[in-house]
Structure 1
């Protein structure tokens, strides 16, 4: 399975780029899955729902299934967060897995950068970043700088990088 990341600081356009890349790459006939890392506790379930009640009662895993989708929720209950590799092992085979976040993981990435976010680039000190997608010009980088709004060009770059 081929993987490629989209990373950057908060409010730099990562989620918007991920959404546009999934649309663009699937439009080209390839299958795509995504992994999103969050630094805070997230919950896809809500109090009062049956599945929430199952988890609150102590279930390690809860599967919710319907005619249009299914989901597995796995409670860590104090265990360490699984590695990205462990999480990837749970995905069904696809052409490409796009990963949002995981700044320091070993897979190749495009860094999102918006000047208004006021944060320094990660690329100069992170060798896993293969390009910067930005809304401004950057000089002196050892990686290509792509227009953050040119989704097709970013998709082309990623697909070339992974050999698709």
Structure 2
């Protein structure tokens, strides 16, 4: 990839693993904390195939949606939330386009997406890697792999962030 282009695009890195309880969220929490200590602005995107609801029945924003609003936004001095009704699961790129002003975007899930992936592998939960080696940026694991892919311990958020920083040239604003 062209070095200039690489530094202008926000890196999107998917944290993936084979199913529930693989440690994806735990690793992601560690990566977010480490990235914030480095001064990075961090965006995250969780893919939930089961659906979710942020609104509470009876509240004004819920009533707006029930009345037919396609997009409902809630704003306060500390947070803004925008909820949009969609007819089907949206492609990763379309959702990412809505995340602005960050240095890195971590996704949790999107294991079939085309973004670089860090696979979480715990030997007590998994038998083999979920992803093909060519899809992986790195592996976070309690065992070592000899695949020519950087492998980090499950607690080495600093090392993983060092790798991301070196590959994508993230500079604190």
Alignment TM-score > 0.5, same fold: yes
Distance 1:57 1:116 in 2: 49
1:38-57 alignment runs, 5 A limit: 38-57=48-67
1:96-117 CA distance string (max 9 Å, x none) = 1111111111111110111222
Residue 155 of structure 2: SS of its match in structure 1?
A: coil
Q: Find the counterpart in structure 2 of residue 94 from structure 1.
A: 102
Distance 2:156 2:133 in 1: 23
Q: Is the 8 A contact 2:133 2:149 kept in 1?
A: no
Residue 137 of structure 1: SS of its match in structure 2?
A: coil
Q: Find the counterpart in structure 2 of residue 112 from structure 1.
A: 120
TM-score (norm 2): 0.84
Q: Is the 8 A contact 1:4 1:158 kept in 2?
A: no
Q: Find the counterpart in structure 2 of residue 24 from structure 1.
A: 34
CA shift at 1:119, angstroms?
4.6
Q: Residue 146 in 1 paired to residue 156 in 2?
A: no
Structure 1: tracts of 5 or more residues without a match: none
Q: CA RMSD in A?
A: 1.6
Are the structure 2 counterparts of residues 135 and 49 from structure 1 closer, same or farther at C-alpha, using a change threshold of 3 Å? farther
Q: Is the 8 A contact 1:14 1:112 kept in 2?
A: yes
Q: Residue 66 in 1 paired to residue 73 in 2?
A: no
CA shift at 1:126, angstroms?
5.4
Q: Find the counterpart in structure 2 of residue 137 from structure 1.
A: 144
Q: Would you say how many aligned residue pairs link Structure 1 and Structure 2?
A: 160
Q: Residue 160 in 1 paired to residue 169 in 2?
A: no
TM-score (norm 1): 0.89
Distance 2:111 2:37 in 1: 27
Residue 56 of structure 2: SS of its match in structure 1?
A: coil
